[in-house]
Amino acid sequence: MNRMLYRIGPLIVALMWCLCASVHAQPILAIERAPDTTRLGCASVATDSIVIRNSGDAPLIVSSFTFTGPNAGDFASCTIPLPVLQPGERASLVICITMNVPGVSVATATIGSNSLGGFAQTPVPLAARRELLSVRLSRDTIDFGTLSACGTASDTITIINDGSLVVGAPAASVRNGFQWEPESFANILPGERRIVRITFIGNVSGSPYATLGTFGFSGSGCFVLKEFWMKAIVSTAPCLVVRVDTLAARPGENVNVTIWQDSVASSVDLSTSTMSIEFDYDPTLLVPLAPLPYEISRQLGVLFLRVPLRTGSGPLLQLPFRVALGSSDRSALRIRSYSFNPAPLLVTIRDGRLDLLGVCTDPRQRLFDPTRAISSIRSISTSNGCISVEFNESAMQQTLTVYSLVGDRVAQVLSDSGRASTSPLPPGPYILRCSGEASASLVLVSNE
């Protein structure tokens, strides 16, 4: 009996070990791949997958594949039927993504299975992103109207990237009498604006121009085309170019600003027509000298003129000014508005400019603040090269300092009974400054 037990004992032990091993065998669900953020580009649908593996030693049964979270409705299972994995096997759980609105959708996928021998719920976070290619134009039509055959015209249109993609700037192009070029060829970032200048270059008189322009934009597999109209007519009426001089002068000098009539065919007689002009300038820098030719009236910084036109090209009129030490180192000289009588004419206006010479262009380095008046001075006069100043009653005791335009001190006088006078000075412009004040005045000393 003992010998028999000795023989069958190992068999019983082996059988018991096998039964125990069979009882403890169980499946284990392992996530081998979980999606990062699924990018749809501009599309509204896409698919992705979760790769699982049975790392246990018993069959793994996937019983459910569901979605919860803020945007669970954008995700759905496309795996039918759900898999049963033998030990070591892999499977892909396919996810169908549908996003009707661009942006980011988040949810949690939950895989129900018999992992670890029970009913396991394995969560997997999900995210998806749909881009928005949205570009709009600030206007859909640029109408230059009726233009003179003597000149050209330009305008701008703005590209607005209000999507989530970076798009390229349009290339420069010429099309049927129009040309356009962006201010920069760099990519247009989300939220950025880009100005494109449109210029009319047609020259066929009496011919209406109507051209459809197109800008194409692409990104992340998306494409959008934006269209706009460009319109213009070149007039057959007589035309001319009226331009204003560009010149430079020093403070205290007299200058003549010439307004010119250009680009008129010699056979066109415009001498029976007159042009009414509203001429604009910086009154702190230029002082008109009386009398002005063809002047109707004036305001501070504006002259109203009426001048007869001429046959052919040449000067229309000269405006005499004295240059002062103003609040800037330059002044625009421009024709702000105009009209013709009696014949309707088309005109191209080209503005001019006066640059001030011999002055410091940095306001921080000037001797004074030219935008303010000297409050303590009542009057300034010159005689025989001497500068005489009368002060206000509230500033009877003053020190008057005279500088050259380059900042050299040439005289300094203490006031006596509210008056101060310098010794004779050489002819030229001088800067007057009073003690305790940052402002100053410009005085011109002559030989008279």
Structure tokens at 62: 């996937």
Whether the CB-CB separation of 269 and 311 falls below 8 Å is answered with yes
Whether the CB-CB separation of 264 and 312 falls below 8 Å is answered with yes
CB crowding 95-111: b at 16 or more within 10 Å, else e: bebebeebeebbbebeb
Whether the CB-CB separation of 123 and 100 falls below 8 Å is answered with no
Q: Which residue has the higher pLDDT, 331 or 436?
A: 331
**What residues have CB less than 8 Å from 196, skipping those under 6 apart?**
156, 157, 158, 159, 170, 180, 181, 182, 183, 215
By mean pLDDT, which of 143-147, 151-155, 275-279, 335-339 is the weakest? 151-155
Predicted TM-score (pTM) of this structure: 0.44
Structural domains of the chain, ranges and CATH numbers in brackets: 29-130 (2.60.40.10), 135-234 (2.60.40.10), 239-356 (2.60.40.680), 365-445 (2.60.40.3080)
Query: In the structure, what pLDDT confidence band is assigned to residue 12 with cuts at 50, 70 and 90?
Result: very low
Whether the CB-CB separation of 359 and 251 falls below 8 Å is answered with yes
Which residue, 163, 173, 171, 159, is CA-closest to 219?
A: 163
Residue whose tokens read 């206007």: 139
Percentage of the chain modeled with pLDDT above 90: 43
Determine the Cα–Cα distance for residues 339 and 345; give it in Å rounded to an integer: 9
Side chain identity at residue 445, one-letter code: V
Q: How many CA atoms lie within 13 A of 435 on its CB side?
A: 11
Task: Please give the backbone phi and psi of residue 231, each rounded to the nearest 5 degrees, phi first.
Answer: -135, 145
| pLDDT value of position 41 | 83
By mean pLDDT, which of 98-107, 240-249, 352-361, 420-429 is the weakest? 352-361
Is residue 438 scored above 80 in pLDDT? no
Structure tokens at 104: 């980011």
CA torsion through residues 32, 37, 41, 45, sign: positive
pLDDT in tens, 40-68: 888 889 999 999 999 999 999 999 999 99
Determine the Cα–Cα distance for residues 275 and 344; give it in Å rounded to an integer: 10
Determine the Cα–Cα distance for residues 188 and 166; give it in Å rounded to an integer: 6
Residue whose tokens read 């000393």: 445
Determine the Cα–Cα distance for residues 318 and 292; give it in Å rounded to an integer: 9
Average pLDDT over residues 351-375: 66
Residues in the chain: 448
Is residue 341 scored above 80 in pLDDT? yes
pLDDT in tens, 68-91: 999 999 999 998 899 999 999 999
Which residue, 265, 261, 290, 264, is CA-closest to 275?
A: 261
pLDDT in tens, 227-261: 999 999 887 766 678 899 999 998 888 899 999 98
Per DSSP, which regions of 114-177 are E strands? 120-130, 135-137, 141-147, 153-161, 173-175
Beta bridge partners of 73: none
pLDDT in tens, 167-217: 999 999 999 989 999 999 999 999 999 999 999 988 777 778 999 999 999
pLDDT in tens, 93-102: 999 999 988 8
Write the DSSP string, 217-237: EEETTEEEEEEEEEEEEE--S
pLDDT in tens, 147-167: 766 667 889 999 999 988 899
